Amino acid sequence: MIVHSREPLSAQNTQTIALVGNPNSGKTSLFNRLTGQRRKVANYPGVTVDRHVGAVTRDPNTQLIDLPGCYSLVSRSLDEQLARDVLFGWIRNEQTPDGVIVVVDASNLERNLFLATQVIDLGLPTIVACNMIDVVRDRRDQLDTHKLAQQLGVPVIGTDARTGEGLDELHNAIRALDSPTTKAMGHPAKRTPFDKPAQSAFQEMSNVVTSRNLATPSMTDGIARILIAPDSVSDDGDTWNKLSPDDKHAIITARNAIETPVASLVCQRYDTIATIVSAVHIKNSDGRPTATDRIDRVLTHRFWGLTISSTIMGAMFLAVFSGAAPLMDGVEFVVSQLATAARSLLGTGVFADLVVNGVIAGVGNVVVFVPQIAILFFIIAFLEDSGYMARVAFVMDRIMSATGLHGRSFIPLLSSFACAVPAIMAARTIDSRRDRLTTIMVAPLMSCSARLPVYIVIISAVFAGNVWLEAGILFTMYALGLVTALMIAAVLKRTILKGPPATFILELPPYRRPRFTIVCRETWDRTKPFLTQAGTVILAFSVILWALAYYPRANNTSPDNIDTTAQLRQSYIGRLGQTIEPVIKPLGFDWKIGVGLASSFAAREVFVATMGVVHGVGEDADETSVPLREKLLNDKWPDGRRVLTPLVGVSLMVFYVFACQCMSTLAIVKRETNGWRWPTFMFCYMTTLAYVASFVVYQGGQALGLG
Amino acid sequence: MTIATTGTTTLDRLPIGSQARVTGIDDKTGNADRLMEMGLLVGRPVEVARVAPFGDPIQIKVMGYHLSLRSTVARGIAVEIENASTTS
C-alpha cells in the first residue's frame, strides 16, 4: 500500500516537474537549457542510476528531474523502470511529480509520440516539447504544433535546444502548468481511445490498482494501461520502489488472468498516432539520402567502417596513454611538491610520515589516474553526442556476440586497456543488468596502464638486449589479458550470469555536431565520483597500507637515519611477505616479491617503488632504473640460485595480468554494483586465476627444463 | 542463404534497398512487444539500409528512422516485398 499526499516536496510553493523522453530526443540539452548551471547529480535510493535534478533558472521554485531516456513506460531496462516509477509516484520518499514535460524528437514524431501518449494518458499536467524543430524545417517539412496541441489535448511547444528557440514559450507553459486550463487538459476524454475488450481489461487492472491503493484516482486508468503489458524487468534489487512484494504479486496475478493481447494495444495506440501525425505533419522531403545516410555509407562500410573505427579507437587509446602523460607528470609533480612542503612543515615523526607517505603518496597514487579518466570520458562523451557510439556498437556487435555480450560492451572493454575504473563506469550504457555485470567483472583483466611499469621493469631486467623478444613478450601479456577476458565473459554468461540472450535492438540516431558544453559536463559528471566516493575508500586503504609498512618500528634506528630496507623487512607488510613465501614459492617468488605483491594492492605500479625499497635502491626507483635492474638480477635464494630467472619473470608478469591488485577498481565496483558482493567475487576469482596461471607457468616451465 | 526478390520472406533475407511491408512478428526471441513499440507493426513499411561489416547485425529503416537488429531477431519478422531494389 502506498500513502498518497500531494504536499510539496520541500519549501512551500515548490513544484517538481519530470522531464521524460526517448533516448536521442535532445532531452538532456533541454534540461541544461532550462536549469543552466543549477543542478545536482545524485543516485536513486539503492541503484546507481544518476538522478539529475535542477531548479529552473527563470522560476527557482520549480524543480526539474531529468529522467533516464525511455521508449515506452512498459519498461525493458533499469533506466526505463526508474522513469516509470518516478511518473507513477512509486519512488521511495518521493511524491508524484506535479507535472511532466515530454520531450519529443519532432523529426521522428511518430515513434516519439508513442511514449508521449502513454504519459498523457497518466493524467498529470503535461507539456509536450517538440524538440529539434529545426531538423523538420531543414527537411522543408511542416509541423503544425497548434493542431498537434488540439489533437493531444496538452500544450505543445516547438523547441530547438541547441539555439534556445521556443524556450520563452516553454517557460510560460511551465508557469501555467498548475493553471485550471492546463489541469483540465488531463481530462479523461483526451486519453488515447481503445476498443471495448481493451477497455474492460484496463478496468480490471484499474480495480487492482485501486484496491491496493497504488495510485491517486486520476492516475489509476493511465497506470493500469501500462501495468497490463508484461515488462521484462527483474524484480531483484528494485529497492527504490515503494511497492511491496504483495503489490507486485497482485499486479502479476491480475496481468496473467486478464490475458490482454498486448500487440493489439500497441497497434491501437499507433493507429491513433498515425491519424494525428497525418493531420499535423506535412512531408515535403524527397527520398534523397540524408547526410546521415551518406556518412553511414562510409562509417559502417565493410572496409572503411572497420578501418575508421580501428583508427578512432587507436587514437583514443593513444590519447589516454600518451596524451595524459604530461598531465600525469604534472599531478605527480604537484604531489611531490606537496610531500616536500609537508615534510619541511611537519619535520619527522609518525604524524609527518603518515601525512607524507600515507595520505599524500597514497591519494597521489590514485589521483594520478584522473587525467586518463577525464580524457577517456571526454572522448567517449564526444563520440556519444555525435551519434558515432551507436555505430561502434553496430560494427562490433558480431565480435562481441561470440562471448554472449553485445556491441555495447565493446567500449568499456577497450577503455579498460587504459584504466579499469572509467571502463567500469562506462558500462552503465549497457541496458541488460547481467551483461553490464559481466562486462564489469572481466574489464580489469585487460592490461591497464598501471601494469605497464611492472611489465617493463621485469622485461628489461630478465630479457634485456633482444628488442623483438621484449616487444613480443609485452604483446603476449596484453593479448593474454584480452583473450582471457573474453573467455571469462563467455563462461560467466553461461553460468552465474546466465540469462536470456542479449537483445540488441539499438537505435542509430542521426549524426550531429557534438556540443562542447554537454561533452564537458558529461566528462565532469563521470570523473567526479571517482574523486569523491572512490577517493574516501582509497584514502582509508592508503593509510592502512602505510601503517602496515611503518609498524612495528625497527628499534635501533634514529628517526633521521632510517634503514628503509631493514624497516620494511621487519614491518607487518614485510612479515606478511615472509609469511606468504611458502605459498608463493611454487610460483617462483621469494618474500621480497611477496612484499611487492602485497603493496601492489594500493596500485600496481607501487610494485616498482617497493622493489626499490626492498633492495635498498631507494623509493625513487622507477622502471628505467639501472641499479634496481641489477639488484633484481643479483637477488639469490639462500642456496645461491638466482631468484628472478626468465621463467620467474614470466610467471610474475602472468600473475600481474590476472591478479586484482587495485583498490580503486574494487572501490568503483562496489559503488557501481551497490554492495560488496561483486567486488568480493571479482577479487577472489582474479586472485585464484592469477595463482593458478602462475603456478602452471612456473611448474610447467620447470618440468620442461626452462627454469 | 537465398535472397528473395519477390513475395514473402523474412527481414534478415530482404535485399538491401528493397521496400517491404511487415506481415507478421514471431515472438520466439521474446522481443515482439518492444519491436512493435519501436514501429515494426504489421502493415507498416520497412527497408534494410545496410548490413554491418561482419554480416550481422543489420540496419533497418522503419517509421523514418534507423534501427539495428541482429539477424536472429530479424528472422522472426515476416515481410512482403513491395518494390525490389534497383541498386543491388
**All domains of chain A in start order, with CATH:** 1-287 (3.40.50.300), 525-703 (no CATH)
Cis peptide preceding A217, ω within 30 of 0: no
Residue A56 or A313, more confident:
A56
Q: Residue A113: pLDDT above 70?
A: yes
Q: Give the C-alpha distances (Å, rounded to integers) separating A425 from A310, A443, A523.
A: 22, 11, 12
pLDDT tens-digit readout, A429-456: 777 788 889 999 999 999 887 888 788 8
Instruction: State whether residue A505 sits within 8 Å of chain B by CB.
Output: yes
Residues B9, B3: Cα–Cα separation, whole Å = 9
Q: Which residues of B touch A (CB under 8 A)?
A: 25, 29-39, 41-42, 49-50, 52-57, 59, 63-70, 72-73
> Mutate which of B63, B69, B71 to test chain A, going by most A C-beta atoms within 10 A?
B63
DSSP A537-548: HHHHHHHHHHHH
Q: What is the pLDDT of residue A206?
A: 94
Q: What is the pLDDT of residue A329?
A: 85
- The band of A268, judged by pLDDT with boundaries at 50, 70 and 90, is very high
Give the β-pairing of A156-158 and A126-131: parallel
Average of per-residue pLDDT across A597-603:
81
Across the beta sheet with A39-43, the strand order is: A39-43, A50-56, A59-66, A15-21, A99-105, A126-131, A156-158
DSSP A162-193: TTTBTHHHHHHHHHTTTSHHHHHTT-GGGSPP
- The band of A9, judged by pLDDT with boundaries at 50, 70 and 90, is very low
pLDDT tens-digit readout, A224-244: 999 999 886 655 556 677 888
Q: Which of A13-22, A38-47, A123-132, A171-180 has the lowest mean pLDDT?
A: A38-47
Average of per-residue pLDDT across A551-573:
71
Our measurement of the distance from residue A290's CA atom to the centroid of its chain's CA atoms, rounded to an integer in Å, reads 32
Nearest CB partner across the interface for A508, out of B34, B39, B67? B67
Instruction: State whether residue A287 sits within 8 Å of chain B by CB.
Output: no
Q: What is the pLDDT of residue A522?
A: 79
In CATH, the number for domain B8-83 is: 2.30.30.90
Q: Residue A144: pLDDT above 80?
A: yes
Q: What is the pLDDT of residue A221?
A: 92
Q: What is the pLDDT of residue A71?
A: 93
Average of per-residue pLDDT across A259-267:
86
Exposure string over A410-430, b if 16+ CB within 10 A, otherwise e: bbbbbbbbbbbbbbbbbbbbb
Residue A617 or A520, more confident:
A520
Q: What is the pLDDT of residue B20?
A: 94
Count other C-beta atoms under 10 Å from residue A6's C-beta: 9
The cell for A523 is 566528462
Low-confidence stretches of chain B (pLDDT beneath 50) = 1-2, 87-88
Instruction: State whether residue A297 sits within 8 Å of chain B by CB.
Output: yes
Task: Give yes or no for a contact between A223 and A214, defined as CB atoms under 8 angstroms apart.
Answer: yes
Q: What is the pLDDT of residue B1?
A: 45
The cell for A654 is 602472468
Q: What is the pLDDT of residue A52?
A: 84
Give the β-pairing of A142-143 and A281-282: antiparallel
Q: Residue A586: pLDDT above 90?
A: yes
* Cell 515482439, located at residue: B32
Q: What is the pLDDT of residue A266?
A: 94
- The band of A661, judged by pLDDT with boundaries at 50, 70 and 90, is confident
Where does residue B11 rank: exposed (0-12), middle (13-18), buried (19+ CB within 10 A)? buried
Residues 6+ apart with CB under 8 A from A319: A375, A379
Contacts of B53 in chain A (CB under 8 A): 300-303, 305-306, 395, 398
Q: Residue A246: pLDDT above 70?
A: yes
Residues above pLDDT 70, as percent of chain A: 88
* Cell 557501481, located at residue: A672
- The band of A664, judged by pLDDT with boundaries at 50, 70 and 90, is confident
Mean pLDDT of all residues belonging to chain A:
84
Which 8-state DSSP code applies to residue A257?
A: H
Residues A699, A706: Cα–Cα separation, whole Å = 10
Residues A280, A145: Cα–Cα separation, whole Å = 7
Average of per-residue pLDDT across A316-342:
82
B39–A110: do the CB atoms touch at under 8 Å? Answer: yes
Residue A79 or A537, more confident:
A79
C-alpha angle with apex A472: A469 to A474, nearest 5 degrees?
110
Size of interface A-B (CB pairs under 8 A): 112
Residue A87 or A625, more confident:
A87
